[in-house]
Amino acid sequence: MSASLQIFLCIALLILAAKLCGAAMARIGLPLVLGELLAGVLLGPTFINIWRFQWFSVSGPARVSVVAVFKVLADIGVVLLMFLAGLETDVDMMRSAVAPAFWAATGGVILPMVGGAVLAHAAGYSWQHAIFIGTILTATSVTITAQTLMNLKQLQSKAGSTILGAAVIDDVLGLIVLSVVIALAPSFAHSGAASWRGLAVTLGRMVLCLALLGFVGPPFVRWVFRRAERLHGSHTEVSAALVIAFLFAFQAEWFGGMAAITGSYLAGLFVAGTPAHRCVLDDIQPMINSFFGPLFFVSIGLEVDILQLSGHVEFFVALLLVAIVGKIIGCGLGSRFTGFSWRESLIVGVGMIPRGEVGLITASLGFAAGVVTRDVYVQVVVVVLLSTLITPGLLCFAFPRSSLAGEVLSSGAMELQRLDTAVDKMADA
């Protein structure tokens, strides 16, 4: 079987599994992403282990491994997902809720990072590895937080919009920390603290690249879209957006030595400021939600071998506690500092627990670069899964009863209406 034929089968199976598991999770009120991750875990080495099937073994004259090609597809997916995250960032809201969101985010980055690093170092990892493990614990996912808040009908509350703003700032902070850590990683790994010159060059390139992207980026993107919309052809705006996303991603990693996703996230932010914003968003969402997104989330799950958790249970439990308590205390204190009540601060802290795309991407980058070993990688991915899993329940506890009564009623009413529609459809058929 040719590599292409193998990939056709692989795409069909993985998208099917992702969407079915996603729907199953959504049905019981949990985020879709969690289901797509679990689909990967199910198909991965712990249970089914699809790559062992003869259908996916290397064959044909080209001798291209379907696993390698699939990894590239997943990497294209990451770039597009982070581009979408940038595109969906509400820059205005970010500005208005900036003070409480900023302090909540900062607290929620520092505490898990320091806690994770200290814990990992105490467990015997080198400082470089320990700091990277801490970094993975910093990033809250906008997607998962927003979905949880929507489930609870609290998206527009004071705590809700602070959580959303903080999640965005958190993503940006997380990316900056990640970029610095990755940029510094080679100097750390190969020459220790001795090569100050190498470190300066690395940092200089990163700053230059960020400055270039930050100052030249926005006018460049606006210029491209002014040209693109006058260009003959179909969907030229989306094409322009894709070209910019991949070019920025390439440039961030190749020239700046940062993560490629930093580039595509910035590309998304800049495109969000152009008039083509709406059109690009509408056209690019189906592509990501139906194809590249599921493939990426399944690919993360596929890397996880839960059996490897055994023998590291104490470290794993400690890591999970740092991830949860670090966010609750860090974000909570941050919002309390700007005048929130204790309960509101608790809500913000709990709402910031779920890790998501950025954490997973960070972990997989570290794994690919060899900064994170396979067993730490597995533990971190399971921590991300669990942090997502517990948040909806914890948030229900954190919100005052009264504000949730309406939610429970309205969700009950929705469920009734859903059943009603289903019965109607069955009657029609």
Residues that bind a second copy (CB under 8 A): 1-5, 7-9, 11-12, 15-16, 19-20, 22-23, 26-27, 32, 62, 64-65, 68-69, 71-72, 75-76, 79, 226, 230-236, 238-240, 242-243, 246-247, 249-250, 253-254, 260, 283-287, 289-291, 294, 368, 422, 425, 429
The distance of closest approach from Cβ of residue 50 to a second copy in the complex, given in angstroms and rounded to an integer, is 15
> Would you list the DSSP string of 207-250?
HHHHHHHHHHHHHHHHHHHHHHHHSSSSSHHHHHHHHHHHHHHH
The distance of closest approach from Cβ of residue 234 to a second copy in the complex, given in angstroms and rounded to an integer, is 5
Q: Where are the alpha helices (DSSP H) in 233-341?
A: 236-254, 260-272, 277-287, 293-302, 313-337
A 10 A CB-CB count for 39 gives: 27
The distance of closest approach from Cβ of residue 58 to a second copy in the complex, given in angstroms and rounded to an integer, is 12
The distance of closest approach from Cβ of residue 42 to a second copy in the complex, given in angstroms and rounded to an integer, is 17
> Would you list the DSSP string of 113-154?
HHHHHHHHHHTT--HHHHHHHHHHTTPBPHHHHHHHHHHTT-
The distance of closest approach from Cβ of residue 228 to a second copy in the complex, given in angstroms and rounded to an integer, is 8
- DSSP 8-state code for residue 56: G
Q: Which amino acid is at 425?
A: K
Q: Given the complex with a second copy, which of 79 and 113 has the nearer CB atom? A: 79
Helix 342-351 × helix 142-151 angle, to 10°: 120
Q: Given the complex with a second copy, which of 194 and 368 has the nearer CB atom? A: 368
* CA proximity to 66, closest of 5, 19, 18: 5
Q: Given the complex with a second copy, which of 296 and 399 has the nearer CB atom? A: 296
The distance of closest approach from Cβ of residue 380 to a second copy in the complex, given in angstroms and rounded to an integer, is 21
Q: Find the angle CA(89)-CA(301)-CA(382) to the nearest 5 degrees.
A: 85
Q: Given the complex with a second copy, which of 230 and 401 has the nearer CB atom? A: 230
The distance of closest approach from Cβ of residue 270 to a second copy in the complex, given in angstroms and rounded to an integer, is 15
Q: Check: CB of residue 94 under 8 Å from CB of residue 165.
A: yes
Q: Given the complex with a second copy, which of 74 and 322 has the nearer CB atom? A: 74
Tell me the C-alpha to C-alpha distance, in Å, between residue 308 and each of 62, 313, 322, 397: 34, 10, 20, 33
Q: Given the complex with a second copy, which of 171 and 237 has the nearer CB atom? A: 237
Q: Given the complex with a second copy, which of 409 and 422 has the nearer CB atom? A: 422
Backbone φ and ψ of 140, nearest 5°: -85, 150
Q: Check: CB of residue 39 under 8 Å from CB of residue 301.
A: yes
Matching residue, tokens 């919002």: 335
Q: Given the complex with a second copy, which of 39 and 380 has the nearer CB atom? A: 39
The distance of closest approach from Cβ of residue 308 to a second copy in the complex, given in angstroms and rounded to an integer, is 21
Q: Given the complex with a second copy, which of 157 and 186 has the nearer CB atom? A: 186
Collapsed DSSP state (helix, strand, coil) of residue 44: coil
Q: Check: CB of residue 114 under 8 Å from CB of residue 299.
A: no
The distance of closest approach from Cβ of residue 32 to a second copy in the complex, given in angstroms and rounded to an integer, is 5
The distance of closest approach from Cβ of residue 309 to a second copy in the complex, given in angstroms and rounded to an integer, is 26
d(CA 235, CA 407): 41
d(CA 116, CA 135): 8
Matching residue, tokens 């019965």: 423
